[in-house]
Chains A and B, each alone.
Chain A
Amino acid sequence: MEITELTVKEIVEKIKKKEIGVKETVLAYLKNIEDKDNNIKAFLSINNEEALIKAEELDKENEKNGQIFGIPVAIKDNINVYGMETTAGSKILRGYISPYDATVVKKIKEQNGIVIGKTNCDEFAMGSSTENSAFFNTKNPINTDYVPGGSSGGSAASVAANEAAAAFGSDTGGSIREPAGFCGIVGLKPTYGRVSRYGLIAFGSSLDVIGPLAKNVEDAAILTNVIAGFDRKDETTANLPVENYTDFLKRGVKGKKLGVIKEINDFKIQDEVSITLKEAINKLEVQGCEIEEVSIPHLKYALPTYYLIAPSEASSNLSRFDGVRYGLQGCGDNLRDFYEETRTKGFGREVKRRILIGTFALSEGYFDEYYLKASKVRRLIAMDFEKVFEKVDALILPTTATTAFKFNEKKNPLEMYMSDIFTIPMNLAGIPAISIPFGKDNKGLPIGIQIAGKWFEEGEIFQISYALEQLKES
């Protein structure tokens, strides 16, 4: 078996047993990138020189410490990596070299992981197909006629194409889970506050979470171990102890109560997706899981609520891109023209659309009607989940209503927004959720099944999703 086909766990074991070297590992991935990425286009920048230097250093170390010792990981381009170009998929940041590491990147480096490159994404993580990248499209490695999903499309594709052993992305409304689902890999959105956002270029600050994309649940658990925890630099992180997530994996699902949300049937779901979900549920039931139908009455308001909260926050978060200190700079005879030209040239259509929506929702006279009302509905959705979790341990639902779509297939923004109907509610409530591949549709495109759990109980969803993963027909 090729190194690049191994899991994170397997590679670390082999390196620690000195069966393979770190440099050898990095070279194998760089070779794969060279061979495939002209076509897949998962990466915006490759860190080959630095990665090889680091690999040589690690090979010299006698003590092979670190949970991801020598693992080449890909980082979504909206996460700051010291000394690397960090564009968030936007023209406005082209050429911007970050002077600092995001906390997550610092933690990855502390565990001796190696940043192999930065991955493509929808501009400022706004999108569900990576088609909103200002630079190019990323293709779905399963079938290159299809989108890889988004916004962490590059990260998902890099793992699915074996161009990285694992990757990190960000999830504001489904941006880890949806591409993981489309590309047939595992993606976790941790609880809001579980992972530091310091160094993640903000989109919707109250929704954004960094999480792993991996080949399997075990790798995702290892990667979550690396990045989870309180950070003094992010006041929204929770000062709670972090459990070792790999401990949960093999505990089985006997006696676990799993909720199936009644309201998902109000949405149009691709037949094969529905069938696969039922199959997954049945198999879990056989394993001793108790299945219960539950209700999230406000589920139908999740999308409109999200499309007020996220753009409102984004409109403010993106104000710093004014051309004054860094990034693309327009000209103009006066300040206003300068701003206008900078931002007109720098931002793409979708980003502008969301800035407009957000600016409008926060304007005097509309704030109460839109932003405030959305905040209240958001609270109601969170309360729905609270109530449900009094009865069940976790929820099971599809990651997306359909499998991956083709490029340019969703021309209407609203249609595109609908891709996230099953992932957005978790961001609004702040709860953790994982997407794992479970079966394929008749075109051979992967189907993602989502397990959502209680706040800060990532362990529980690793436990359930690991069990489900074992039930997959290979």
Chain B
Amino acid sequence: MYKPTIGLEIHVQLMTKTKIFCSCSTEFASEPNTHVCPVCIGLPGALPVLNEKAVEYGVKLGIALNAYINKFSSFYRKNYFYPDLPKGYQITQYVIPIAKGGYLEVGGSGAQKKKIRIERAHIEEDSGKSIHAGNITESEFSFIDFNRSGIPLIEIVTLPDIETPDEAYDFLILLRSIVRYIGVSSGDMEKGAMRCDVNISVSKDETMGTKVEIKNLNSFRSVKRALEYEIERQIGALKKGKRIVQETRHFDEKEDTTKSMRTKEESNDYRYFPEPDLPPLVLSDEFIENIKNTIPELPNKKEERFIKEFGISNDYARTIAYHPKLVEYFESIVNFTGRAKAVANFIMVDISAYLNETKKEIDEIDFTKEKFKELLDLIDNKTISRNTAKEVINESLRTGKTPSEIVSKKGRTQIADETSIKEFVIDVLKENDAQVNQYLSGKTKVMAYLTGQVMKKSKGKANPEIINKVLYNELENLKK
């Protein structure tokens, strides 16, 4: 049996208002090179000034990853030439990162969870973006947009604890959820706010196989597909007695395959040395403690609690817990109504369907906690059935009307009042002597027919459960 060994290197763009070393905006701009200044395009004489917010976010993420925060860390220069790297070096943490150690638990709930250890997380700056005319190897010219240059990044490096593509996927969606929860990043892989490179090797025994790096993974799906393909490719090659070449491969999204990048693989010497323009980064206990206090209950903890405390299904619990806006909505409704399971069901089935259809976000809808409570109350006091409730919630989402408005306008209010139902029942019993006698002689199956007659009389509005109860009582009374 071949066993894959997988490690991830993830870059997370931090959502600071300004760049890491200058005061340029980090906002997305459609016009290239509009959020630039002498610092972030590397003009002669410009100097970096560290953005404290980036440090705060770095610490926050480190704590959320259960890592140790280094009170003393420093910046280095990583030297290499590339057109979108304006200074010819990237300012990054190297020997001492801001966060060290740490882990995330992924996979099933409780005991089935698996710990993926994190080696380190460090702060660095993003480069500009090269835009090639056509294919990179054949293009006649390239453009560079420096709007991205100097956006703060956290690079997270895992230990090779991941053994399956699913674990990698689970790790990434949990990480995305965490960065969103603590508000340090949008976590959007499609928009490049989270970028992932993977290292993968396969081996039959305890020795490590040859490591292959895969780049150009622009979605969670791509990570999973690339790993699936690569595992198959490597195992296939080894089975045929071939050797795996240590290389960087490129994921081809269209073909779902990985391809050798055929670069002149000169071993890069980045000539790291301490950044003389920035003094060491020294954090006080108070600074770290203050940040610690701002970290909310994180998605994996919430997920577990929802399952244990509320009895919500694993799937629903994860989907709600991992989505910061959804969970906020869910918890506010649960706090107000005191009902969790029913609320989870409505959110996951009816509201989700509406959101998917309209491409809306949960915080864009107007189904307030008051409306939710009304709906649940209408079901509880048997004014409406669960089926009707689905229609009501749907209409309320579309029109903004309250559930009771909808129910009364449609004349859908159920007759749940026993006295009024009793009147229908007595009428029906009088009109159906034959069936009553059948019942009294022991053929209780006619109950169904009689119920139907009562329903007919109430024009379908009587609550069936109450009909049953009243009808049964009346029939039993006749026995006496």
* A interface residue numbers (CB < 8 A to B): 78-80, 86, 88, 93, 96, 98-100, 102, 197-202, 204-206, 232-236, 312-313, 315-316, 318-322, 324-326, 335, 339, 359, 362-364, 367, 371
- Contacts of B18-63 to chain A: CB distance below 8 A: 38, 41-50
- Do B269 and A320 touch across chains, with their CB atoms under 8 A apart? no
Bound CA–CA A58/B464 (angstroms): 96
Bound CA–CA A222/B45 (angstroms): 25
- Do B79 and A362 touch across chains, with their CB atoms under 8 A apart? yes
Bound CA–CA A235/B144 (angstroms): 28
Bound CA–CA A400/B372 (angstroms): 86
Residues of B within 8 A of A79 (CB): 45
Question: Which of B38, B77, B144 lies in contact with A316, CB distance below 8 A?
Answer: B77
Residues of B within 8 A of A359 (CB): 271
Residues of B within 8 A of A335 (CB): 81, 83
Bound CA–CA A99/B39 (angstroms): 12
With A206-B276, A316-B88, A325-B86 already in contact, the answer to whether A201 and B44 are too (CB < 8 A) is yes
- Do B279 and A80 touch across chains, with their CB atoms under 8 A apart? no
Residues of B within 8 A of A325 (CB): 41-43, 86
Residues of A within 8 A of B44 (CB): 80, 86, 88, 93, 96, 98, 201-202, 320-321
Residues of B within 8 A of A321 (CB): 44
- The range of chain B's interface size is 20 to 34
- Do B38 and A319 touch across chains, with their CB atoms under 8 A apart? no
Counting CB contacts under 8 A, is B465 at the interface?
no
Q: How far is the CB of A175 from chain B (nearest CB, A)?
A: 16
- Contacts of B141-167 to chain A: CB distance below 8 A: 144
Residues of A within 8 A of B43 (CB): 98-100, 325-326
- Do B45 and A320 touch across chains, with their CB atoms under 8 A apart? no
Residues of B within 8 A of A316 (CB): 77, 79, 88-89, 271, 273
Bound CA–CA A100/B47 (angstroms): 13
- Do B46 and A198 touch across chains, with their CB atoms under 8 A apart? yes
- Do A319 and B273 touch across chains, with their CB atoms under 8 A apart? no
* B interface residue numbers (CB < 8 A to A): 38, 41-50, 77, 79, 81, 83, 86-89, 144, 269, 271-273, 276-279
15 contacts between A and B (CB under 8 A): A86-B45, A199-B45, A205-B277, A233-B49, A235-B277, A235-B278, A236-B276, A316-B79, A316-B88, A318-B88, A319-B87, A320-B44, A322-B88, A325-B86, A362-B273
Question: Which of A197, A233, A362 lies in contact with B271, CB distance below 8 A?
Answer: A362
Nearest to A204 among chain B residues (CB) is B276
Q: How far is the CB of A306 from chain B (nearest CB, A)?
A: 14
Residues of B within 8 A of A199 (CB): 45-46
Question: Which of B45, B77, B86, B273 lies in contact with A102, CB distance below 8 A?
Answer: B45
Bound CA–CA A224/B275 (angstroms): 27
- Do A198 and B45 touch across chains, with their CB atoms under 8 A apart? yes
- Do A319 and B49 touch across chains, with their CB atoms under 8 A apart? no
- Do B88 and A80 touch across chains, with their CB atoms under 8 A apart? no
- Do A319 and B81 touch across chains, with their CB atoms under 8 A apart? yes
With A79-B45, A200-B45 already in contact, the answer to whether A363 and B276 are too (CB < 8 A) is no
Nearest to A207 among chain B residues (CB) is B276
Residues of A within 8 A of B48 (CB): 235
Tell me the dominant secondary structure on chain A's binding face: loop
Bound CA–CA A155/B197 (angstroms): 52
Q: How far is the CB of A52 from chain B (nearest CB, A)?
A: 26
Bound CA–CA A79/B46 (angstroms): 11
The 5 closest A-B pairs by CB, nearest first: A319-B88, A362-B271, A205-B276, A206-B276, A201-B44
- Do A235 and B279 touch across chains, with their CB atoms under 8 A apart? yes
Nearest to B44 among chain A residues (CB) is A201
- Do B49 and A99 touch across chains, with their CB atoms under 8 A apart? no
- Do A320 and B88 touch across chains, with their CB atoms under 8 A apart? yes
Nearest to B49 among chain A residues (CB) is A235
Bound CA–CA A99/B36 (angstroms): 12
With A86-B44, A316-B88 already in contact, the answer to whether A100 and B81 are too (CB < 8 A) is no
- Do A320 and B277 touch across chains, with their CB atoms under 8 A apart? no
Question: Which of B38, B50, B269 lies in contact with A363, CB distance below 8 A?
Answer: B269
Nearest to A327 among chain B residues (CB) is B44
Nearest to B80 among chain A residues (CB) is A319
Residues of B within 8 A of A80 (CB): 44-45
- Do A234 and B47 touch across chains, with their CB atoms under 8 A apart? yes
With A316-B89, A322-B81, A325-B86 already in contact, the answer to whether A236 and B277 are too (CB < 8 A) is yes
Q: How far is the CB of A365 from chain B (nearest CB, A)?
A: 9
Q: A80-B44, A100-B38, A236-B278 are in contact. List 18 more A-B contacts (CB 8 A).
A: A86-B45, A206-B276, A233-B49, A234-B47, A235-B47, A235-B277, A236-B277, A315-B271, A316-B271, A319-B89, A320-B42, A324-B83, A326-B43, A335-B81, A362-B79, A362-B271, A363-B271, A367-B272
Residues of A within 8 A of B269 (CB): 363-364
Q: How far is the CB of B336 from chain A (nearest CB, A)?
A: 48
- Do B49 and A339 touch across chains, with their CB atoms under 8 A apart? no
Bound CA–CA A31/B330 (angstroms): 80
Bound CA–CA A312/B275 (angstroms): 11
Residues of B within 8 A of A371 (CB): 273
Most chain A CB within 10 A, of B44, B87, B277, B278, is at: B44
Residues of A within 8 A of B45 (CB): 78-80, 86, 98, 102, 198-202
Residues of A within 8 A of B272 (CB): 362, 367
- Do B144 and A324 touch across chains, with their CB atoms under 8 A apart? yes
Residues of B within 8 A of A200 (CB): 45
Nearest to A205 among chain B residues (CB) is B276
Q: How far is the CB of B147 from chain A (nearest CB, A)?
A: 14
Bound CA–CA A49/B86 (angstroms): 33
Question: Which of A99, A205, A235 lies in contact with B38, CB distance below 8 A?
Answer: A99
Nearest to B274 among chain A residues (CB) is A375
- Do B83 and A320 touch across chains, with their CB atoms under 8 A apart? no
- Do B46 and A235 touch across chains, with their CB atoms under 8 A apart? no
Residues of B within 8 A of A102 (CB): 45
Residues of A within 8 A of B81 (CB): 319, 322, 335, 339
Question: Which of A202, A320, A339 lies in contact with B86, CB distance below 8 A?
Answer: A320
Bound CA–CA A93/B44 (angstroms): 9
